[in-house]
Amino acid sequence: MMKYGLPAYTNKTINTGSDAYMHDCIVIGGGIAGLQAAIQLGRYQRNVLVADSNQGRSNLCRCYHNILGWPDGISGETLRETGRIQAEELGIEFKDVHVQKVNKEPGGFRIITAQDQFKAKSVLFATGVVDRLPNLDKLLPCLGISMYICPDCDGYEVLNKPVIVIGSGDAGANMAIALTYWTDEVILINHEIEEIDDQLLKELSDKQVTIHQSPIHSLEVDGDRLKGVLLSNGLNIKAEHGFAALGGNEVRSELAADLGVELYKNKHILVDQRTKMTNIENVFAAGDVVAHSEQVTIAMGDGMQAAIWIHKKLKQATERSM
Ligand SMILES: Cc1cc2nc3c(=O)[nH]c(=O)nc-3n(C[C@H](O)[C@H](O)[C@H](O)COP(=O)(O)OP(=O)(O)OC[C@H]3O[C@@H](n4cnc5c(N)ncnc54)[C@H](O)[C@@H]3O)c2cc1C
Whether residue 145 has its Cβ less than 6 Å from ligand 1 = no
Pocket test for ligand 1, best of 75, 94, 139, 150 (most atoms within 8 A of CB): 150
pLDDT class of 19 with cuts at 50, 70, 90: low
Q: Flag whether pLDDT at 140 surpasses 60.
A: yes
Q: Flag whether pLDDT at 139 surpasses 50.
A: yes
pLDDT class of 14 with cuts at 50, 70, 90: very low
Whether residue 153 has its Cβ less than 6 Å from ligand 1 = yes
pLDDT digits (tens, 9 = 90+) for 54-93: 999 999 999 999 999 999 999 999 999 999 999 999 999 9
Whether residue 302 has its Cβ less than 6 Å from ligand 1 = no
Mean confidence (pLDDT) of the chain: 94
Whether residue 45 has its Cβ less than 6 Å from ligand 1 = no
- Report the Cα–Cα distance between both ends of the chain, in Å, rounded: 43
Whether residue 65 has its Cβ less than 6 Å from ligand 1 = yes
Helix, coil or strand: residue 24: strand
What are phi and psi for residue 185, nearest 5 degrees? -110, 70
Q: Flag whether pLDDT at 5 surpasses 80.
A: no
- Residue 264 near residue 108, CB atoms below 8 Å: no
More confident residue, 320 or 186: 186
CA 29 to chain centre: 9
| Closest atom of ligand 1 relative to the 130 alpha carbon | 30
Whether residue 163 has its Cβ less than 6 Å from ligand 1 = no
Dist CA 175 CA 198 (whole Å): 16
- For position 292, what pLDDT does the model report? 78
To the nearest whole percent, how much of the chain has pLDDT over 90? 92
Whether residue 90 has its Cβ less than 6 Å from ligand 1 = no
Over range 115-126, report the average pLDDT.
97
Rounded to the nearest whole angstrom, what is the distance from the C-alpha of residue 84 to the centroid of ligand 1? 15
Task: Write the DSSP assignment of 247-279 as a string of letters.
Answer: --PEE--HHHHHHT--B-TTSPBP--TTT-B-S
- For position 8, what pLDDT does the model report? 38
Nearest CA to ligand 1 atom 8: 64
Whether residue 143 has its Cβ less than 6 Å from ligand 1 = yes
Q: Flag whether pLDDT at 151 surpasses 80.
A: yes
Nearest CA to ligand 1 atom 4: 61
More confident residue, 179 or 5: 179
Whether residue 157 has its Cβ less than 6 Å from ligand 1 = no
Pocket test for ligand 1, best of 36, 58, 70, 249 (most atoms within 8 A of CB): 58
pLDDT digits (tens, 9 = 90+) for 215-256: 999 999 999 999 999 999 999 999 999 999 999 999 999 999
Over range 125-133, report the average pLDDT.
98
Rounded to the nearest whole angstrom, what is the distance from the C-alpha of residue 199 to the centroid of ligand 1? 32
pLDDT class of 322 with cuts at 50, 70, 90: confident
Whether residue 126 has its Cβ less than 6 Å from ligand 1 = yes
Dist CA 269 CA 291 (whole Å): 6
Dist CA 40 CA 311 (whole Å): 9
Pocket test for ligand 1, best of 296, 297, 305 (most atoms within 8 A of CB): 296
| Among the listed residues 206, 210, 207, the one whose alpha carbon sits nearest the alpha carbon of residue 165 | 210
| Closest atom of ligand 1 relative to the 286 alpha carbon | 26
Over range 101-118, report the average pLDDT.
96
Whether residue 95 has its Cβ less than 6 Å from ligand 1 = no
pLDDT class of 20 with cuts at 50, 70, 90: low
- For position 12, what pLDDT does the model report? 46
